[in-house]
Structure 1
Amino acid sequence: MTDNQLQQLVEELSQHYFQLPFLHRAYFNSRLKTTGGRYLLNTHDIEINKKLYDHFGIDELKGIILHELCHYHLHIRGMGYKHRDRDFRELLKKVGAPRFCSTIEETQISNRKKVLHTYQCVRCSQLYIRKRKMDVRKYRCSKCGGEITYLRSE
């Protein structure tokens, strides 16, 4: 599916479910990792995660679009468009849009296999485990103020 086809689908779903036009842009964003879609408040555009469409198909895509259109139409009308707002939850039920999208199992597994970096204080042997590498010349031990050295990555 191309961005133009997605735009057309969003416009059709908006007209069918909300009886209101969608007057902004809808497009795929390949950088989205943990979300099915995103409604942008400043531009009123809708971004969709292409991987979820490729993995789950058109039905999941329609659910994501309906969810984002709920944000869109409520925000345009000045009503409660956030997930915790009553207006939003009621509109989700009315149009049958999901509150959350499905997750791709591969993404969850790859997110769990993050490399961890282990550091240790030279003076008191305090261990520090970090997701990101850090410059040991800039930091000191939080317990004793000693020098920190890099041990290993796991």
Structure 2
Amino acid sequence: MRMPLTQGELEKLVHALSMEFFHKPFIDEVSFNARLRTTGGRYIPSKRKIELNPKYLTEIGREEFEGIIKHELCHYHLHIEGKGYKHRDPEFRQLLKETKSPRFCGALPSIEESRVKHHYECVRCKQVYNRSRQVNIKKYRCGKCRGKLTKV
């Protein structure tokens, strides 16, 4: 898999976002990690390193990817300052709001498509239901209008 940005371009992007939104330099290590499966990125406090999933840049786009970088920079800067840098900490949540960083990243389209295997539709209101597991259409009804479901 070809990386969408070179290592130098990635470092410049992270440093620029750090200066723009946090007014502090990013002086540690950042890299792509294509083995990340369920997340857009992670901050490793013991190494002071940010790892980013390149699939988010190629599949969802640069804007979403920059949001992931800002999220990881929130962890990074709070950790360096000795403040609460974990998801449950109030300092972390406040910094996310101040920098307009996303709290979570959405699922990758390639993974989301592979999870959905069964498609159902309500006969009455045409509501569509996509499920990874099969639904017993004799037992379950539409949650919107109580109509019968059919497999599409």
Fold in common (TM above 0.5): yes
**Partners of 1:97 and 1:112 in 2: CA distance:** 28
Letter in 1 for 2:63: D
> Runs of 4 or more off by more than 4 Å in structure 1?
none
Aligned residues: 113
* Partner SS state of residue 39, structure 1: strand
Aligned: 1:77 with 2:105 = no
Aligned: 1:13 with 2:5 = no
Residue 138 of structure 2 corresponds to none
The alpha carbon displacement at 1:111 in A equals: 5.4
C-alpha RMSD over aligned residues: 1.4
Aligned: 1:37 with 2:45 = no
1:100-115 maps to which residues of 2 (within 5 A)?
100-110=104-114
Structure 2: which 5+ runs fail to align? 118-152
Letter in 1 for 2:109: E
1:1-150 maps to which residues of 2 (within 5 A)?
1-110=5-114
**Partners of 1:54 and 1:5 in 2: CA distance:** 15
Letter in 1 for 2:37: K
The alpha carbon displacement at 1:34 in A equals: 0.3
% identical aligned pairs: 50
**Partners of 1:111 and 1:2 in 2: CA distance:** 31
The alpha carbon displacement at 1:105 in A equals: 3.0
Residue by residue over 1:91-132, the C-alpha shift from the partner in whole angstroms, topping out at 9 and shown as x without a partner, is: 00000000011211321344578xxxxxxxxxxxxxxxxxxx
Residue 117 of structure 1 corresponds to none
